[in-house]
Amino acid sequence: MSRKQLFAAMLVAALLIAGVGSFYASSHPDGLEYVADKTGFGDSADDPKTSGSPFADYGTAGVDDARLSGGVAGVAGVLLVLLVMSGVVFAVRRRGREPATADSDG
Amino acid sequence: MHVPDGFLDAPTSVATGVVAAVGVGIALRKAGRELDDRTAPMAGLVAAFVFAGQMINFPVGAGTSGHLLGGALAAVLVGPWTATLCVSVVLLVQGLFMADGGITALGTNIVLMGMVGVWVGWLVFRAARMVLPKVLGMVPVAAAVGALVSVPVAAAAFTLLFAIGGTVPVETSTVFAAMVGWHTLIGIGEAIVTGLVVAAVVAARPDLVYGARDLIEARVLEIRGAAS
């Protein structure tokens, strides 16, 4: 498999998992939430400060269809993470190549 | 395991925020050396894959669920420093845009998943690689072992933070037993997903897997040695 084919496969897998697969995920509370509720500190959680975000709780504001709402939020999240992390890597690697800022700690 | 705002008090959240900032700062300096021109695009893709994987909650019984944390997976595929950055970016996007994980708890979540999860996963992977046969087929197995251990250890780390700065007085031993117990089960799911994904990438292009580099380099040397 070529490098580009592998990269494409990884992106398609991530988009399908977040965009389609996530609809079938368990809606039970996760381990921490469950433990918090059972042992008595679940109520200490504040309401999320970003609950007004267009993709809050992995849904898309204004989209009623649950499958589409979650799918759009998932795809948007995957692309956003890809973009931000690729930007971080670009910056980190470019800085590393400049001899003036190269550090010598190994 | 996303900690919401309110579970931990302000001093503890500030402290984990400082630890996270220092950890991410070091990772920014070190990650460049883990990636070359061929593997650099993997970092963004691995982060995107971890984000997607974290959306899939799988049931672990009795009305609770778990999802991939992805620390061990990312560390094996792109290296531990890069993995810390991958998981931190995922947590940042989740906190800012998905209302998943608190904003004041972002440092806590980076410490638990981006640092403890990643590094425990990586170090256990390295230890497992030492005792397992030195063949490519063992890389996914070692990754699964690292993943399995990383989840309950991150859960134990949360318990420690809760014992220090929890806003509700709950017996530490009660929280510890419940957190580690449930997250050991979640760790089994983490191990299966991590093992399968690493196996798929190793089968396709082992030369792009950070945790398999030593085997690839050894193989290239053998071929060169045989040819000369």
Provide the pLDDT confidence category of residue A106 given band limits of 50, 70 and 90: very low
The ipTM is 0.93
Residues of A in contact with B44 (CB under 8 A): 81-83, 85-86, 89
Residue B219's pLDDT is what? 75
Chain A, 50-79: which have a CB under 8 Å from a chain B CB? 50-51, 53-58, 73-74, 76-79
Inspect the interface and report whether the beta carbons of B205 and A3 lie closer than 8 Å: yes
Question: Which residue in B has a C-alpha nearest to residue A51's C-alpha?
Answer: B99
Q: Which of A57-61, A101-105, B81-85, B97-101 has the lowest mean pLDDT?
A: A101-105
Mutation choice for B interface testing from A2, A10, A55, A94 by most B CBs within 10 A:
A10
Rounded Cα–Cα distance for residues B80 and B108 (Å): 18
CA distance B227 to B169: 68
pLDDT digits (tens, 9 = 90+) for B143-179: 999 999 999 999 999 999 999 999 999 999 999 999 9
- Cα A78 from Cα A65, distance rounded (Å): 20
Q: Which residues, 6 or more positions from B145, have their beta carbon under 8 angstroms from its beta carbon?
A: B124, B125, B128, B191
* Contact criterion met (CB below 8 Å) for B81 and B34: yes
Structural domain count of chain A: 1
Determine, for residues B89 and A84 on separate chains, whether the beta-carbon distance falls below 8 Å.
Answer: yes
- For residue B208, give every residue at least 6 positions away whose Cβ sits within 8 Å of its Cβ, in sequence order, or none: A3, A6, B38, B39, B42, B201
For B108-132, write each residue's pLDDT tens digit.
999 999 999 999 999 999 999 999 9
Average pLDDT, chain B: 95
- Residues in B touching A60 (Cβ below 8 Å): none
pTM metric for this prediction: 0.94
- A43 domain residue, yes or no: no
The gap from C-alpha B21 to its chain's centroid, in whole angstroms, comes to 17
Interface check A92 vs B, CB under 8 A: yes
**Domain ranges (residues) in chain B:** 10-227
Q: Is residue A11 part of a domain?
A: yes
Q: What is the DSSP letter of B3?
A: P
Residue A10 belongs to a domain? yes
A102 touches chain B (CB under 8 A): no
**Predicted pLDDT of residue B228:** 59
**A2, A89, A101, best to mutate vs chain B, most B CBs in 10 Å:** A89
Predicted confidence (pLDDT) per residue in B21-65, tens digit: 999 999 999 999 999 999 999 999 999 999 999 999 999 987 999
Residue B144 tokens, joined: 């699964």
The residue that leads in pLDDT, A31 or B223, is A31
Structural domain including A71 reads 3-24+52-101
Q: Which residues are B59's β-sheet partners? A: B65
Cβ–Cβ contact A17 with B under 8 A: yes
CB contact A88 to B (< 8 Å): yes
Give domain status of residue A31, yes or no: no
Q: Can you say how many angstroms the Cα of residue B62 is from the centroid of all Cα atoms in its chain?
A: 25
Alpha carbon distance A48, B150 (integer Å): 27
Task: Give the right CATH number for B10-227 from 1.10.3720.10, 1.10.1760.20, 3.30.390.50, 3.40.250.10.
Answer: 1.10.1760.20
